[in-house]
Each structure stands twice: as structure tokens, then as C-alpha cells.
């Protein structure tokens, strides 16, 4: 069978194809986009200020990581957050660098802030 642009079959197929493209484009333009969730970093800010006041409490973070790693059934995301927090603890030389890493808008900062349970025992 030979393809012919002027045949009635090809014209109807082309019209259906164009309608489909235009409809999908219109739907995508009219889609309601969600506003980004506001970050509630109040707890993280309190934890970081407690760490600034008492830098020895960073050992509590390391103990929390070790404690949670020993648990059998943890979500993969939580395990990744533990791993990233351990990276930040070992890489940061002072509290200011640690704070910048936690509050950064990159992947590591977002993953760590997603699990505030890691910072248990710092504020008290």
C-alpha cells in the first residue's frame, strides 16, 4: 500500500493526529500546578542553635545514626538519610559548615531534613 498525502484516509488520520496533539497540549497548559510546600524548618533551626551552643552534642547524632542502622525494618529513604547525615558529620569541620550542609537546598540537605527523628535528643 502506497502512502499518499492527498488520499482521504491519510487526511482523516492526519486530522485525528493533530487533534490529539492539540488536545494534549491544551490539557498540559491548563493543568493546575501545585505550589511548592513551605519548608517548616523551625525544629531544625532549634536543633542547629542547640548544636552551636553545645558542639559536643554532635556525638548524639552519630549515636542516633548507629542506633537506627541496627534496626531491621527501615525504609530505604530513612537509610539514605542516615547515610547522608553520617557523610555530613564526617565531612564538616565546624558547626557552621554542618549547618550550611543541613540547610542547603540540594539533595542531601532535603533528604536529611525530611527525617527530623535523626535529631532526637539534641534540644534537651
- pLDDT tier at 8 (50, 70, 90 boundaries)? confident
Q: Model-level pTM?
A: 0.66
Is it the case that residue 49 has pLDDT exceeding 80?
A: yes
Given a cut of 80, whether residue 21 has pLDDT beyond it is: no
DSSP-assigned letters across all residues of 11-67: HHHHHHHHHHHHHHHHHHHHPPPPPPPPP--HHHHHHHHHHHH-GGGHHHHHHHHHH
State residue 1's pLDDT score: 47
Amino acid at each position: 500500500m502506497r502512502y499518499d498525502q492527498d488520499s482521504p484516509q491519510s487526511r482523516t488520520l492526519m486530522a485525528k493526529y493533530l487533534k490529539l496533539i492539540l488536545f494534549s497540549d491544551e490539557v498540559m497548559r491548563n493543568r493546575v500546578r501545585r505550589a511548592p510546600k513551605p519548608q517548616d524548618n523551625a525544629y531544625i533551626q532549634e536543633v542547629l542553635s542547640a548544636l552551636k551552643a553545645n558542639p559536643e552534642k554532635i556525638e548524639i547524632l552519630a549515636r542516633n545514626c548507629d542506633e537506627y542502622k541496627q534496626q531491621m525494618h527501615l525504609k530505604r529513604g530513612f537509610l539514605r538519610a542516615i547515610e547522608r547525615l553520617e557523610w555530613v558529620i564526617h565531612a564538616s569541620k565546624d558547626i557552621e559548615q554542618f549547618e550550611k550542609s543541613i540547610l542547603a537546598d540540594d539533595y542531601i540537605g532535603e533528604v536529611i531534613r525530611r527525617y527530623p527523628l535523626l535529631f532526637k535528643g539534641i534540644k534537651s
